[in-house]
Amino acid sequence: MTTERAQKIWEAFKAELIVQPTDDMREALSTAIRECADRLCTDWAELEHPSTTLAIIADELDTLETDH
């Protein structure tokens, strides 16, 4: 069952793609979200607000160099 929240996240992800989305991409996205959740739990213990932590993670990903 797909929720509206999951659909909005998937649509936002697909909007940034330059190729057709695949099941592997969907699985990679869900894995990345789980990793973010793990980081939130760790960083929350450090008293960082969850939205601040997510914004920092997104900024770090934006500047991450990829291996092509």
Residue 57 CA from chain centroid, whole number? 9
- State pTM to two decimals: 0.77
Token look-up 């697909």 returns 14
CA atoms within 13 A on the CB side of 32: 13
Q: Across all residues in the chain, what is the average pLDDT? A: 87
The span from the CA of 26 to the CA of 59, in Å, is 21
Instruction: Give the range with max mean pLDDT: 18-22, 32-36, 39-43, 55-59.
Output: 18-22
